């Protein structure tokens, strides 16, 4: 059961049967979830198996190199510069995350 902040009562997460899908490396796993107890059991089963397999941590891949530089972005007109700056920022964030996990 979950806790509802608005009404300050315990309420079930699952109010009607659901299909839970885990997207795995080599396919998908499906669980029929009729109630909260089954949801928690399925989550525990998947997490336990992933931990045992060593497949429980996030390890991002190194992003592909951009084909433009910050100087080239600065020279663009505003209607092109804004999306290019966003792409550049996303790339820099991804590179920061990749450096923590990937060694080249």
Going residue by residue through the chain, which has 104 residues, state the pLDDT in tens, using 9 for 90 and above. 555 566 666 777 888 999 999 887 788 999 999 999 999 999 999 889 888 887 766 666 778 888 888 899 999 999 999 999 999 888 888 888 666 665 54
Note the pLDDT of residue 26. Answer: 81
Provide the token pair at 32. 């029929």
Q: What is the pLDDT of residue 25?
A: 75
- pTM for the complete prediction? 0.47
- pLDDT for the residue numbered 21: 93
Residue 32, SS3 per DSSP: strand
Domains of the chain, residue spans: 2-53, 58-104
Query: Which residues is 10 bridged to in the sheet?
Result: 3
Give the helix ranges, DSSP H, for 54-77.
Answer: 70-74
């Amino acid at each position: 059961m979950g806790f509802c902040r608005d009404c300050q009562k315990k309420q079930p997460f699952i109010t009607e049967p659901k299909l839970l899908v885990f997207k795995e490396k080599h396919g998908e796993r499906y669980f029929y979830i009729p109630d909260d107890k089954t949801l928690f059991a399925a989550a525990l089963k998947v997490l336990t198996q992933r931990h045992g397999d060593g497949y429980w941590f996030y390890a991002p891949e190194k992003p592909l190199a951009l084909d433009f530089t910050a100087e080239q972005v600065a020279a663009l007109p505003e209607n092109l510069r804004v999306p290019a700056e966003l792409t550049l920022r996303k790339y820099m964030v991804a590179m920061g995350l990749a450096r923590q996990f990937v060694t080249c």
